[in-house]
């Protein structure tokens, strides 16, 4: 059984005071959180420590939105896995499409970041997904195949087992346009096929694959009813305590 994992990606939103308030509201709303699901909050770097202080005695976990692959050094503006671990993170999002689009991240930098995260015991949430243009040209599978093959190159089977993959079609992110549950599941099933091919059947059946892109309280149930969807990566709807709580508390 793959335990569903629900992650809130706050992106570049919330000052540390606002982050603290949202985390407190979520801890209150989620006192009855059952251990059949995992919940992770990913505030901006400046909110990590304050959010950790609020959630540390609750079942909610902390994640970051990015990291650098080196441990330390002259890399102005960057943050290492060791620093994330130090402020209480146990997860880190890697290769989000906004990072690939606006900050020139490639499958190769994604790969280096995965190794850096694993090295510190962080769980990488590796994002993949096609653009609208690629989908319209029928290149979805080709793009995903390349992102998985190049992004995950060199990982051992046991390292691969520690990953979470997030399928986020770029055309569905922040647009209000969700992939249909069937469209999403089709790609998730394909990702499992690729994991079996690049690693083995155990890796393919055990890795959790999340869907991301305009997830809301009104579509969570239908997405989670799909057999290869094991959770969601939520942007906009994770910025409000009530809507994120409704998503977390979805019933199958």
Q: Which residues are tagged catalytic?
A: 96, 168
Closest-CB residue for ligand PGA?
A: 235
Element (H, E) at 85: helix 81-86
Residues 184 to 213 in contact with ligand PGA, rule: CB under 6 A: 212-213
* Residue 231 C-beta: closest distance to ligand PGA, Å: 12
How many residues of this chain bind ligand PGA (CB under 6 A)? 13
| Cross-strand bridge partners of residue 93 | 125
Each residue 7-36 as x (binds ligand PGA by CB under 6 A) or -, in order, gives: --x---------------------------
* Residue 209 C-beta: closest distance to ligand PGA, Å: 14
* Residue 241 C-beta: closest distance to ligand PGA, Å: 16
- Calculate the alpha carbon distances from 164 to 59, 62, 77, 161, 210 in Å: 18, 15, 26, 8, 7
Find, among 6, 80, 7, the residue nearest to 45 by Cα.
80
Residue 44 touches ligand PGA, criterion: CB under 6 A: no
3 state SS of 215? coil
Residues 118 to 177 in contact with ligand PGA, rule: CB under 6 A: 168, 173-174
Residue 219 touches ligand PGA, criterion: CB under 6 A: no
State CA 88 to chain mean position distance. 17
Which of 234, 241, 247, 248 forms a contact with ligand PGA (CB under 6 A)? 234
Alpha-carbon gap, residue 144 to 191, rounded angstroms: 8
Alpha-carbon gap, residue 41 to 96, rounded angstroms: 15
Kindly tell me which of 124 and 213 has the beta carbon lying closer to ligand PGA: 213
Considering only the stretches 22-30, 83-91, 117-125, 228-236, report the one whose residues sit in contact with ligand PGA under the rule CB under 6 A: 228-236
Which of 48, 60, 233, 247 forms a contact with ligand PGA (CB under 6 A)? 233
State CA 58 to chain mean position distance. 20
Given a contact cutoff of 8 angstroms between Cβ atoms, the answer to whether 45 and 79 are in contact is yes
DSSP-derived secondary structure for 170-184: GGGTTSS-PPPHHHH
Interface residues with ligand PGA (CB under 6 A) are 9, 168, 173-174, 212-215, 233-237
């Amino acid at each position: 059984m793959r335990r569903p994992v629900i992650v809130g990606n706050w992106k570049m939103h919330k000052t540390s005071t606002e982050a603290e308030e949202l985390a407190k509201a979520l801890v209150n709303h989620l006192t009855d959180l059952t251990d059949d699901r995992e919940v992770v909050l990913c505030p901006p770097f400046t909110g990590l420590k304050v959010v950790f202080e609020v959630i540390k005695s609750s079942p909610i976990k902390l994640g970051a939105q990015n990291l650098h692959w080196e441990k330390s050094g002259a890399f102005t503006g960057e943050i290492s896995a060791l620093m994330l671990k130090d402020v209480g993170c146990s997860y880190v999002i890697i290769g989000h499409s906004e990072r690939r689009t606006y900050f020139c991240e490639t499958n190769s930098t994604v790969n280096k970041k995965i190794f850096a995260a694993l090295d510190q015991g962080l769980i990488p949430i590796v994002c993949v997904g096609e653009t609208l243009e690629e989908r319209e040209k029928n290149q979805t599978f080709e793009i995903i195949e390349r992102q998985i093959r190049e992004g995950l190159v060199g990982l051992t089977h046991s390292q691969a087992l520690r990953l979470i993959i997030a399928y986020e079609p770029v055309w569905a992110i922040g647009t209000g346009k969700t992939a249909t549950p069937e469209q999403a599941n089709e790609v998730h099933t394909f990702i499992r096929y690729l994991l079996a091919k690049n690693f083995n059947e155990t890796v393919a059946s055990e890795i959790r694959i999340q869907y991301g892109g305009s997830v809301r309280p009104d579509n969570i149930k239908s997405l989670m009813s799909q057999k290869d969807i094991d959770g969601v990566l939520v942007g906009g709807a994770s910025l409000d305590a009530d809507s994120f709580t409704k998503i977390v508390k979805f019933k199958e």
